[in-house]
Amino acid sequence: MPDWLITGCSELLTLRGPIPRRGRALRELGIIRDGAILVRDDRIAAVGPRRRIERLRGARRAEKLNLDGRVVLPGFVDSHTHLIFPGSRAAEYEQRIAGATYEQIAKSGGGILSSVRKLRAASAADLKSQAHKHLRSFAAHGTTTLEAKTGYGLDFANELKTLEIMRELRLEQPLDIATTFMGGHVVPPEYRKRPNDYADLVARIWIPYVARTGLAQYCDVFCDRGAFNVRQAEHILAAGLVCGLTPRIHAEQLAHTGAARLAVKLRAASADHLEKINTADIKALAKSDVVCTLLPGCCFHHGIPHDAPARELIDAGAIVALATDFNPGTSPTVNMQMILSLACTQLRMTPAEAIVAATINPAFSLRRNQRTGSLEPGKIADIAIFDVADYREIPYYFGVNTCWMTIKRGAIIHPRQPI
């Protein structure tokens, strides 16, 4: 492959700087105006002002890509998705608009359990082809790395079926996928009366097996009202830790349960949602290395005000990230640009904070910050190019896909046709 020289960037957001970013550092984008990037094979060979990069050996022979004043970012890192699921829950969406709540629908057997019933009945081939379609859409919106959780199988065979699909997807398409085992999503119907037995089964039998196979790197639990309590969540996540699966937690989404404090206690990579945290939680999270992953797509989709205290978390010094939470029940979007828009208007984050929270901080939460999340020499050439002249226009044009090109490991993956 010839080297590539990318020029004509009105703003090149390198995201170089401290990792992870907290407090004021969350606004550091490392912007180079009229910058250039030299890409060699799958890596970034050089980044800097155009005049300097153009003079480098290799730059003259390189294939040129002139961006005519567009904005360049590291590809988005979406650190929280439920990628594998069997179709939408559009009927529930309509029920909620008519007044039913997410928890009422779940109690009557809908919600997560309706996706579980359908996933168990679905063939792996069908689930995989749906996931391929979603992954193409992630790429088209500028995402180059994502995390994906199991949790719609909730029996051994179907959790493994999901993990195996993820393994195949890693080989069959270009995006990087970090896998999380989430047997602890909700209690399946077979164990409705024996939730402790189910938590014990996940902790003692499934987790050691999953860890041995190397099919997942992370373990997650939905620790909330209607799902698992703190004791059960700790049992599952501690078992994961012993086997080498790093904890992530769905924490304080529907009710305050103490899950955020559990994340701090277990030194989880990430505590996600956090809509119902209190001042003491904010202090504890801010002192820790737990990444606070906010998911504003959920409240938007449910039509409720977003109350995750992003400003308080940032001002207290917490590590904040943003993610889609792509799933059929609470956040059916693959579009990180829309998440940036929601972060700005609903969480009062600045566009710069939102971009840091969508790139280098989530890369840290996935322990991939050495490879991706910023545009620096030696890192993988994961690049998203936007058809705007000012980076603030990415969240500003809400609901519009301004992603003009996505490059993964030095190869153009969007648009898929040559332009």
State the angle between helix axes of 112-121 and 156-172 in degrees (0 to 180), rounded to the nearest 10. Answer: 80
CB under 5 to 8 A by kind: which of ligand NIG, Fe ion, none does 74 bind? Answer: none
Helix ranges, 244-335 (H):
259-265, 279-287, 296-302, 310-316
The verdict on 332 binding ligand NIG (CB under 6 A) reads no
Residue 330 binding partner per list Fe ion, ligand NIG, none, with a CB distance cut-off of 5 to 8 Å that depends on partner kind: ligand NIG
**83 vs 344, beta carbon nearer Fe ion:** 83
Neighbours of 141 (CB within 10 A): 22
Alpha carbon 74 to its chain centroid, in Å, reads 14
Cis peptide before 86 (omega within 30 of 0): no
Query: In the complex with ligand NIG, which residue's Cβ is closer, 183 or 328?
Result: 328
Q: How many CA atoms lie within 13 A of 161 on its CB side?
A: 22
Binding flags for ligand NIG, 237-266, as an x/- string (CB under 6 A)? -------------x--x-------------
- Please say which residue, 45 or 227, places its beta carbon nearer to ligand NIG: 227
Q: Assess contact for 339 and 143: CB atoms under 8 A.
A: no
User: Which of residues 72 and 249 has its CB atom nearest to Fe ion in the complex?
Assistant: 249
Identify the sign of the CA torsion 268, 206, 223, 358: positive
Q: Binding to ligand NIG by residue 184, rule CB under 6 A?
A: no
**Angle value at C-alpha 272, between 215 and 206, nearest 5 degrees:** 30
> 52: which strand partners?
none
As given in the structure block, the two tokens for residue 242 are 């012993």
Between 208 and 226, CB nearer to ligand NIG: 226
Nearer residue to ligand NIG within complex by CB, 296 or 395 = 296
Q: How many residues at the interface with ligand NIG, by CB under 6 A?
A: 13
Q: Which of 386, 303, 383, 397 is nearest to 344 (CA)?
A: 397
Residue 222's binding partner, choosing from ligand NIG, Fe ion, none, with beta-carbon cut-off 5 to 8 A by kind? ligand NIG
Find which of Fe ion, ligand NIG, none residue 3 binds, CB within 5 to 8 Å per kind.
none
Q: Which of 46, 112, 207, 239 binds ligand NIG (CB under 6 A)?
A: 112
User: Whose Cβ is closer to ligand NIG: residue 62's or residue 254's?
Assistant: 254
Please say whether the beta carbons of 135 and 171 come within 8 A. no
> What is the contact surface with Fe ion in residues (CB under 5 A)?
325
Whose tokens are 């046709």? That residue is 417
Nearer of residues 186 and 316 to ligand NIG, judged by Cβ: 186
- Between vectors from CA 412 to CA 408 and to CA 418, what angle results, nearest 5°? 170
Kind of pairing between the strands at 31-40 and 4-13: antiparallel
Query: Which of 110, 184, 247, 329 is the binder for ligand NIG (CB under 6 A)?
Result: 329
With CB under 5 to 8 Å by kind, the binding choice for 150 among ligand NIG, Fe ion, none is none
Q: CB of 148 within 8 A of CB of 198?
A: no
H or E, element range at 277: none
Quick one: which of 298, 355, 358, 394 contacts ligand NIG (CB under 6 A)? 298
Cα(382)–Cα(376) distance, integer angstroms:
10
- Judged by CB under 6 A, does residue 327 bind ligand NIG? yes
Residue 374 within binding range of ligand NIG, rule CB under 6 A: no
Q: Are 20 and 370 in contact (CB under 8 A)?
A: no
Provide the strand spans (E) within 328-410. 383-386, 403-408
**Sites for ligand NIG among residues 344-373 (CB under 6 A):** none
Instruction: Indicate whether 325 belongs to the interface with ligand NIG (CB under 6 A).
Output: yes
Per CB under 6 A, 330 contacts ligand NIG:
yes
Stretches 34-42, 111-119, 309-317, 382-390: which one binds ligand NIG (CB under 6 A)?
111-119
Q: DSSP string covering 373-385, please?
A: SS--TTSB--EEE
Residue 235: name its binding partner from Fe ion, ligand NIG, none (Cβ under 5 to 8 Å by kind).
none
Q: Confirm or reject binding of residue 115 to ligand NIG (CB under 6 A).
A: yes
Q: Which two tokens stand for residue 392?
A: 């603030």
Question: Which residue of 75, 142, 296, 328 would you call a contact of ligand NIG, by CB under 6 A?
Answer: 328
**CB closer to ligand NIG, 232 vs 253:** 253
Residues that bind ligand NIG (CB under 6 A): 82, 111-112, 115, 222, 250, 253, 298, 325, 327-330
